[in-house]
């Protein structure tokens, strides 16, 4: 499965990293640990910045990452969890972990585990969803207790069939009612970004799958 990255022609992923980290666009000579790479959305950006990247994910998305990235820079990629990182403590200039910590069994422990790998003068950028009522009023939190029990491959095949035909309605609801309208449908859509139809369909399926069946790092 492929996932969004710089191949979209849009700077979404690069801007997300810049907004969150305020790191320079050039990371030459910097050793970066990326936790929870998925299929390589941010891996590609880090490599484009000429960082020496060690990246991992607990799921088979690392296979898609390897396929997406290929020979784009200095990358060591492995499948593993946040509590079992095969590197020396205090050996990275930077640690990046976005959209992941809330899916671990113990976010505080996961944060501490990642922090061990930052050099004394290094930097880490780790985010987590805010804890209040608003995010809970979304379809993904109602569906996950069910969809997490479904075989992942079967769920992905089902979403590949069911999600694209419903994307136009989801886009229309967002245009009419903004963010509230977007949350009325249990799918993710990116029509407002002006993506080519085929790429928009891919993003819709993949991110809907990610929301319904998040991976838990251990």
Tokens (6 digits) for 24: 């320079």
DSSP letters for 102-153: GGSS-HHHHHHHHHTTEEEEEEEEE-----SHHHHSSHHHHHHHHHTTS-HH
Which of 5-14, 73-82, 125-134 shows the lowest mean pLDDT across its residues? 5-14
Among 56-70, 73-87, 128-142, the range with the most confident prediction by mean pLDDT is 73-87
DSSP secondary structure letters along 17-36 = HHHHH---S--TT-EEEEE-
Q: Measured between alpha carbons, how far is 114 from 112 in angstroms, rounded to an integer?
A: 5
Beta bridge partners of 92: 118
CA-wise closest residue to 138 among 104, 185, 92: 185
Instruction: Report d(CA 67, CA 77) in Å as an integer.
Output: 11
Mean pLDDT within 142-156: 85
Residues in the chain, overall count: 218
What pLDDT shows up at residue 187?
86
According to the model, what pLDDT value does residue 52 have? 96
β 31-35/118-126 pair status: unpaired
Which residue is it, tokens 């991110």?
A: 207
* Neighbouring C-beta atoms of residue 77, cutoff 10 Å: 18
Query: Which residue in 46, 8, 7, 4 sits closest to 25, CA to CA?
Result: 46
In this structure, of 4-8, 77-81, 109-113, 178-182, the range with the lowest mean pLDDT score is: 4-8
CA separation for the pair 42, 96 (Å, rounded): 9
Share of the chain above pLDDT 70, in %: 89
Residue 5: other Cβ atoms inside 10 A: 22
What pLDDT does residue 191 have?
Answer: 76
Distance CA 179, CA 138 (A): 11
Mean predicted confidence (pLDDT) in 186-212: 79
pLDDT at 135: 58
Residue 120's alpha-carbon distances to 90, 94, 98, 172, in angstroms, are 7, 10, 21, 49
pLDDT tens sequence across 2-19: 334 444 445 777 888 888
Ordered domains of the chain (ranges, CATH): 6-126 (3.40.50.150), 133-212 (no CATH)
Looking at residue 12, the DSSP 8-state letter turns out to be H
């Amino acid at each position: 499965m492929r996932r969004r990255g710089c191949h979209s022609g849009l700077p979404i992923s690069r801007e997300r990293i810049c907004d969150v980290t305020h790191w320079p666009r050039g990371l030459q000579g910097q050793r970066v640990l990326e936790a929870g790479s998925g299929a390589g959305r941010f891996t590609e950006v880090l490599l484009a910045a000429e960082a020496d990247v060690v990246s991992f994910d607990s799921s088979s998305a690392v296979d898609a990452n390897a396929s997406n990235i290929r020979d784009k820079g200095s990358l060591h990629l492995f499948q593993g969890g946040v509590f079992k990182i095969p590197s020396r403590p205090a050996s990275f200039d930077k640690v990046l972990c976005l959209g992941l910590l809330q899916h671990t069994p113990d976010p505080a422990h996961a944060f501490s585990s990642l922090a061990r790998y930052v050099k004394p003068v290094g930097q880490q950028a780790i985010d987590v969803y805010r804890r209040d009522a608003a995010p809970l009023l979304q379809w993904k939190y109602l569906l996950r207790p069910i969809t997490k029990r479904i075989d992942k491959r079967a769920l992905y095949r089902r979403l590949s069939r069911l999600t694209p035909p419903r994307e136009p309605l989801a886009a229309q609801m967002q245009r009419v009612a903004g963010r509230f309208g977007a949350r009325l449908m249990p799918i993710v859509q990116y029509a407002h970004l002006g993506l080519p139809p085929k790429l928009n369909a891919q993003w819709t399926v993949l991110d809907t799958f990610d929301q319904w069946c998040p991976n838990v790092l251990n």
